[in-house]
A and B are shown apart, each in its own frame.
Chain A
Amino acid sequence: MRKVLLVLAGLAVALVAPLAAHAACVAPISWGVTYATETNYVGNISNPGSVLTIRGLIDCFNAPFADLDPTTKQYTVVITGLVSGGTTINPLGGGFTNYHTVYTGGGSFAYYEDTTTPADPANPPTYSDGTAILTGVLTQLTVDITLGPTGAYVSGNFDTGPMGSGAQFTGGTLFSRVSNFGQGCPLRDTGGWNVSPNAHPAGYTAEVAGKTDIDCQPTADKAQTWGATKAIYR
């Protein structure tokens, strides 16, 4: 009996011990060192038609991906195909200025798992090799940057829009975790956007502190009588 209790106690300790030896995070997918680049971008101005690409590392996972460990395998994110509508400049008073850019079009994203080639910002294909664990589409991404009175970077953020506004998972080897009955769940990518000149390597336009939130909650149901249901069709 005492042995059984000891085994049970040991099991209980094992169950409450931390499962993953990596950092805690809030979002299901948290991005690490990530950079953005564009095809037509000068001096914080994204010109109309400029195509945005984001390449980054994933440094933390939460449910439903809590079993993935970015310290033992490399996980990357790549966003491509969103097209700039041009940057608008909005004075904010006190010398502060907002730079607002909306990217639209047929954007897509993919998350990769790789055990062989370290991602290198100077070698873009190293971000998109390995196994595509999640893929999907994005219809919009908005970037807001605040510059101070001297023109220096103060802060910035990006956002792919509220849940259900277009961003959605469509495939990948882990698609079953982000879909209900084969329908991909909505997602929202948000985070900080840093255009400080020395914060990104040559060839890139911004450094990004991002994350991916997922809303896989099934649609809410409503209890009612058969009579009420039939009445809908009468």
Chain B
Amino acid sequence: MKRMAWLLLLAFLAVPAAAFAQTDQLLVSFEGFDYEFPDVHPADFGGVGDWYNVVGYVQSADPLLGADFSTNEYTIQFFNLWSTGFQDFGNFRVINYTTGRVRLFEDPLSGGTHGDFNGSAFPDNNTAGAPPPNDTSPSTFNDGTLILGGSVTGFVITFDLLAGTGNFGGDVHFDEGTKLGSIPVDVTHAYTFAGLTSEGSSVYQGYDHQVSGEIRIERQVPTQSASWGKMKALYR
């Protein structure tokens, strides 16, 4: 009877607990600034109908994207995120958005256009210090080669109105770009998150917050079922 119980237990252990294990890896990290345009409610961040935008630099990328930071600048743009309204809970504001898009661009360091947040200072178009959109933003962040882009769903900003800091999060569904084929087929989920800071000394005129975040991918790594005997044999 006791032997039967052991056999049943071993048979149970030989059944794979899960066919796949989940991994979560950094695809890109980014840093930039956000702004609202069109801004229907300039006095109220996240008002219904305000469009949320982010422009910034990609600082690092997973090798699978084949990014070469020694010859190229990589930039990021979030756009088409339209506020459907906010609710305040104490000092926390939660803002929900329609489906928007995120895009990553590659632009050569030599001969390309450096991402410029605050407008060119050329005498013929002196808009330096102009709030976005201006003559260089977002245009110098969405030029070059579109290497990866996708829709962003479930995008939410949670903001502490007292502290002037907050965060955003959303799911990413890649569907365009020259590197689209580099995204592994076993990716089950991609998401983005970032911290937002409205530190006056570090936010350019016309932008709302400094943004520091990432896009990450979750992948299914296949597992292999084996009996305890086979498992033990691996270590003999």
Question: Which residues of A does B touch, CB under 8 Å?
Answer: 17-18, 21-27, 30, 32-33, 59-60, 71, 90-94, 96, 98, 142, 144, 146, 153-159, 162-163, 188, 190-194, 196-199, 209-211, 213, 215, 217
Interface size range of chain B in the complex: 35 or more
Looking at B97-105, B158-166, B177-185, the stretch in contact with chain A turns out to be B158-166
Total number of residue pairs linking A and B with CB closer than 8 Å: 169
Question: Which residues of B does A touch, CB under 8 Å?
Answer: 22-24, 26, 29, 31-33, 56-60, 69-70, 73-74, 87, 89-90, 92, 94, 96, 109-110, 114-115, 154, 156, 158, 160, 163-169, 191, 193-197, 199, 201-202, 210, 212-214, 216, 218
Say yes or no: A159 contacts B195, CB within 8 Å. yes
Chain A residue nearest to B61 in the complex (CB): A23
29 pairs from A and B in contact (CB 8 Å cutoff): A18-B110, A23-B60, A23-B69, A24-B59, A25-B57, A26-B33, A27-B212, A32-B59, A59-B60, A144-B167, A154-B169, A155-B156, A157-B195, A158-B195, A159-B163, A162-B199, A190-B212, A191-B212, A192-B193, A192-B194, A194-B214, A196-B216, A197-B24, A198-B23, A209-B195, A213-B201, A215-B201, A215-B202, A217-B201
Say yes or no: B158 contacts A155, CB within 8 Å. yes
Say yes or no: A155 contacts B163, CB within 8 Å. no
CB distance from B180 to the nearest CB of A (A): 22
Residues of A close to B168: CB separation below 8 A: 155
Of the candidates A142, A144, A153, A210, which one forms a contact with B158 in the assembled complex, judged by CB atoms under 8 Å apart?
A144
Say yes or no: B195 contacts A33, CB within 8 Å. no
CB distance from B114 to the nearest CB of A (A): 7
Say yes or no: A30 contacts B167, CB within 8 Å. no
Residues of B close to A159: CB separation below 8 A: 163, 165, 195, 197
Of the candidates B24, B167, B201, B210, which one forms a contact with A193 in the assembled complex, judged by CB atoms under 8 Å apart?
B167
Residues of A close to B31: CB separation below 8 A: 25-27, 30, 60, 211
Residues of B close to A23: CB separation below 8 A: 57-60, 69, 73-74
Residues of A close to B154: CB separation below 8 A: 154
Chain A residue nearest to B26 in the complex (CB): A33
CB distance from A126 to the nearest CB of B (A): 19
A192 to B193, CA, bound (A): 7
A213 to B89, CA, bound (A): 29
A196 to B195, CA, bound (A): 15
Say yes or no: A156 contacts B167, CB within 8 Å. yes
Chain A residue nearest to B197 in the complex (CB): A190
A38 to B1, CA, bound (A): 47
Of the candidates A17, A24, A192, which one forms a contact with B114 in the assembled complex, judged by CB atoms under 8 Å apart?
A24
Chain B residue nearest to A26 in the complex (CB): B31
A17 to B92, CA, bound (A): 45
CB distance from B72 to the nearest CB of A (A): 9
Residues of B close to A25: CB separation below 8 A: 31, 57, 59
A189 to B199, CA, bound (A): 11
A191 to B92, CA, bound (A): 17
Of the candidates A96, A144, A194, A217, which one forms a contact with B160 in the assembled complex, judged by CB atoms under 8 Å apart?
A144
Of the candidates A22, A144, A146, which one forms a contact with B156 in the assembled complex, judged by CB atoms under 8 Å apart?
A146
Chain B residue nearest to A154 in the complex (CB): B169
Residues of A close to B167: CB separation below 8 A: 144, 146, 155-157, 192-193
Say yes or no: B92 contacts A92, CB within 8 Å. yes
A211 to B214, CA, bound (A): 12
**Contacts A90-B89, A209-B194 given; does A155 touch B169 at CB 8 Å:** yes
